[in-house]
A and B are shown apart, each in its own frame.
Chain A
Amino acid sequence: MNFLTVFARAVASMRYNKTRSFLTALGIIIGVTTIIAIVALLKGLDRTIDQEFSSLGTKTIYVQKMELEIGLRRHRNFEEISKRPDLTVEDAAAISELATVRAAVPYIPRNLGTLTRGIYEADECILAGIGEGGDLTGNWIISRGRFITRYDQQHRNMVCVIGSYVADNLFGRGEEPLNQTLEVDGRRYVVVGVLEEKGGSFGHPQDNQIFIPVETHLKYYSLPEGRASVFRGMRIEVLPEEEVPVETAVADVEELLRLRHGLRYYEDNDFGLNTQESMLSSLNTIRSVLWLVMVGVAGISLLVGGIGIMNIMLVSVAERTREIGIRKAVGASDVDITVQFLSEAVALASVGGVVGIVLGLAAGAFVSAITPLQAAAPWWTVVLGVGFSAAVGIIFGIYPARKASGLNPIDAIRYE
């Protein structure tokens, strides 16, 4: 008997007892639906996170007072961290001298709240001090004009470069912001550049910034102290030279800063070097936990489904003892009988798997339709779903099938 005949017969046998077959396959259906739906959700989550990260500079190293970790946060001693030395413009200048570094830019943010200009207003604006090269490290594209220069820094020029949100909200339609003045905290800055829209990152808007030379910022505003300095103090954004691996630049910056901070070899860093990779790695811990949970859930539901199939197949073997006897009497070998019952178990599980895949994909599509999460199961989950359910059919079908084939033909024929 070829494969198709065997399978056709298995399906025919399944149809013979539709209700029972459906109930038996239900365990597998639920299991596979769960797998596909969860994979779709996790993939959607991954995709969303990747999109958020891509709006940051991919190679940029963020030198801050502490190491950033997303998610599973260890207990941090904020008292100790807030006493760490502030990063300085001189640190940035020294880092930018490194051979492996293309640009090192100081950055200080300051919340402004709502900013008004005549009849126009923009909410939640940020006045950020920044150095030359901040467009490179921050992955900004200049729409019109120019970015902050070294000259602006040295002369504490009253100039600013504005994000698209600021440009759109504080200037009228058709009004060109370039060379106009913008009043912030009673001081007037000339707009020398407008940036292209970048979108938010992790829920934080970015286009709401007004960049001014860092020296100008330092002149008018003092650096935050204590705990505030940890998150809102000066940070240095470092862009490695092209062709230089991020890790190499990180090592150079670390060595330099340890030297500048006078750290002994046994002392820990009193600063954090945060890269997209280091943040991703802590994020990946969460991802792997989620995947593990998924594997656990899927494994248990498939186990339960498999036991259901084994149970029904054992019942079926008992019910069909007479049939097995007759088949053996007309020449079915042990292998023939094993294949017959095994194929029925596999058919049950596979049909359950296919139904589960359809339901799981539908669940993913439903989530995508009603939430911003782009939940979509990749193609390999379909293969995985079919493969897993067929494997469950084989694993849990082999015992009943062996039991059937091991029956003595006389006992089986006598059975009534």
Chain B
Amino acid sequence: MSNRDACLGCGHFRNRPADIEAAMPGLTSLGSAYNSARGDDGLCLKHGRYIDARAWCADFFAIATGLTL
């Protein structure tokens, strides 16, 4: 697995702070998606999990290939 194939480069992965805050009710009440502790973590739409951007799986597809959600 190379960094190129990590979740960060996958079309199923979303990690924009605004998206994370919208997807997690209450996050902004006592926290934030803009903090350091979150790192680059994000949501995997394929597996329905919240994951480290450096993770990987067999369902990876590069962002450049387009999205078919």
B is bound to A: no
